[in-house]
Amino acid sequence: MVGRALTADAQVRYAHVDAIDAARVRIVVVPWLQPGIAAMTLGRFVLVRGGNEQRVGLIAHELVHVEQWRELGIVKFLMRYVRDYLHGRRAGLDHWAAYRAISLEAEARLRSGS
């Protein structure tokens, strides 16, 4: 997968994550993502639906996920993500409420301010 790195200026702007992650992230603009989703993170790749790539708050949020992927690894990240989502659904939350209740999402919102 190809993608562009953040400029040096942009990397400085995203001081809420480890500098390693601001340096290693790659932004990949894609024409389509699941409805309601403007971006998603896979490892160090942030897939952004075209037209959203300049949204600083969105990139800031996804950068927290880049850091989480690096620290947890793919298996722990995905297990925690799915476990939290299913926990929310079993508790009676609808899809979006369960999504928002995922601990990794809550951390990303808190740290990115978005």
Q: How far is the CB of 55 from Zn ion (least distance, A)?
A: 13
Q: Which is nearer to Zn ion, 12 or 106 (CB)?
A: 106
Residue type, 41: T
Q: Which is nearer to Zn ion, 67 or 105 (CB)?
A: 105
Strands 45-49 and 39-42: what pairing? antiparallel
Q: Between residue 87 and residue 106, which ones bind Zn ion under the rule CB under 5 A?
A: 105
Q: Which is nearer to Zn ion, 6 or 81 (CB)?
A: 81
Angle at 84 between CA 105 and CA 102, to 5 degrees: 15
- With CB under 5 A as the rule, give the number of residues binding Zn ion: 2
Q: How far is the CB of 42 from Zn ion (least distance, A)?
A: 12
Q: How far is the CB of 108 from Zn ion (least distance, A)?
A: 4
SS3 for 47?
strand
Sequence-distant (6+) residues with CB within 8 A of 29 are 48, 49, 50, 53
Q: Which residues bind Zn ion (CB under 5 A)?
A: 105, 108
